[in-house]
Amino acid sequence: MPRLQGVPDVSSPTTTRPRSAVRAAGLAVAAVLAAVGGLVAAPAAQAADNPYERGPVPTVALLEASRGPFATASQSVSSLSVTGFGGGVIYYPTSTSEGTFGAIAISPGYTAAWSSISWLGPRIASHGFVVIGIETNSRLDQPDSRGRQLLAALDYLVQRSSVRSRIDGTRLAVAGHSMGGGGSLEAAVSRPSLQATVPLAPWNLDKSWTDVRVPTLIIGGESDTVAPVSSHSEPFYSSIPASSEKAYLELNGASHFFPQTVNTPTARQMVAWLKRFVDNDTRYEQFLCPGPSGLAIEEYRNTCPSA
């Protein structure tokens, strides 16, 4: 066994050393071993401190992969079996070995179906979330209606869905594209107990969101002509109080429709945000502060999470 640096060597015959020296050496060895043991036990202690931590240690490669560490399955939800929204699709991790999961409801935009942004469902679920991508009651529904429908979908997930036993009903979030993104802000105001909201290229006639207390990540497109960031995403972000956790990500050259195709910067930041605030997983703070950079990113602002 190699000798520990700074610890007396007690392997020599004790007859050549005073008993007090031997005792002191033994105490020193015990202290070092206890310190080493503490270091080894640290990950377990960290996991015990956060019972919602799910999945392996995060990396950029993990967040940018087409799928996360959890295998997923999906099931359709008929509009005839629900009230308050138009049905949709549920995506969920197939394993329950790590316990229950947080859940998120996501709304498509004006005139669009869930299929327009459905890639987000399995992508997010594979990182340890239950996701319901909703169909709206009418494809012409405005943001306030979409906000109510997102909350109705969450209530259905927690109270009546076949996957309700997999969900922790205290850890819920909403998101949406365009008017669905505007709807996610409406939902956040109506239900401040939500853990996170992620508006994507959000559209809303209301420009002031001083009542939002839910941690909010807004993702906009630099070249959006439907909901220009200068009159939507940016004033939405600026109006949210500085005391609330918030971030603004603007994608370089992106149009209003960037969520309708697989978009890695969006997925990476969205998952990191949900992990940090729905799962309270501080391992993901490294991806929020200082945040993403590179050719795909036009701008990023944030408050940096408070532990």
How confident is the model at residue 38, as a pLDDT? 40
Of 120, 51, 108, which Cα lies nearest the Cα of 281? 51
Q: Contact at 8 Å (CB) between 205 and 110? A: no
Please state the pTM of the whole predicted model. Answer: 0.84
Catalytic residue, from 118, 145, 178, 233: name it. 178
Q: How far is the C-alpha of 216 from the C-alpha of 219, rounded, in Å?
A: 10
ω into 290 cis (within 30 of 0): yes
Helix axes 179-190, 143-159, angle to 10 degrees: 60
User: Does residue 73 register a pLDDT over 90?
Assistant: yes
In DSSP terms, which residues pair with 76 in a beta bridge? 89
Residue-averaged pLDDT of the chain = 88
- Known catalytic residue at 178: yes
Give whole-number Cα distances, 249 to 36, 103, 161, 228, 269, in Å.
42, 23, 33, 14, 9
203-237 burial, b for 16+ CB within 10 Å, e for fewer? bbeeeebeebbbbbbbbbbbebeebbbeebbbebb
With tokens 């969900």, the residue in question is 167
Kindly list the structural domains of the chain, giving each domain's residue range(s) and its CATH number in brackets, ordered by start: 73-302 (3.40.50.1820)
User: Does residue 268 register a pLDDT over 80?
Assistant: yes
User: Does residue 179 register a pLDDT over 80?
Assistant: yes
How confident is the model at residue 15, as a pLDDT? 34
Q: Is 224 helix (H, G, I), strand (E, B) or coil?
A: coil
Catalytic residue, from 224, 233, 279, 281: name it. 224
Of 117, 236, 255, which Cα lies nearest the Cα of 175? 117
- Known catalytic residue at 49: no
User: Does residue 10 register a pLDDT over 80?
Assistant: no
Q: How far is the C-alpha of 295 from the C-alpha of 214, rounded, in Å?
A: 29
How does residue 21 score in pLDDT terms, banded at 50, 70 and 90?
very low
pLDDT digit string (tens) for 29-68? 344 333 434 433 344 444 457 889 999 999 999 999 999 9
The better pLDDT of the pair 42, 264 is held by 264
In DSSP terms, which residues pair with 250 in a beta bridge? 220, 299
pLDDT digit string (tens) for 184-223? 999 999 999 999 999 999 999 999 999 999 999 999 999 9
Q: Contact at 8 Å (CB) between 103 and 131? A: yes
Catalytic residue, from 127, 161, 256, 281: name it. 256
- Known catalytic residue at 306: no
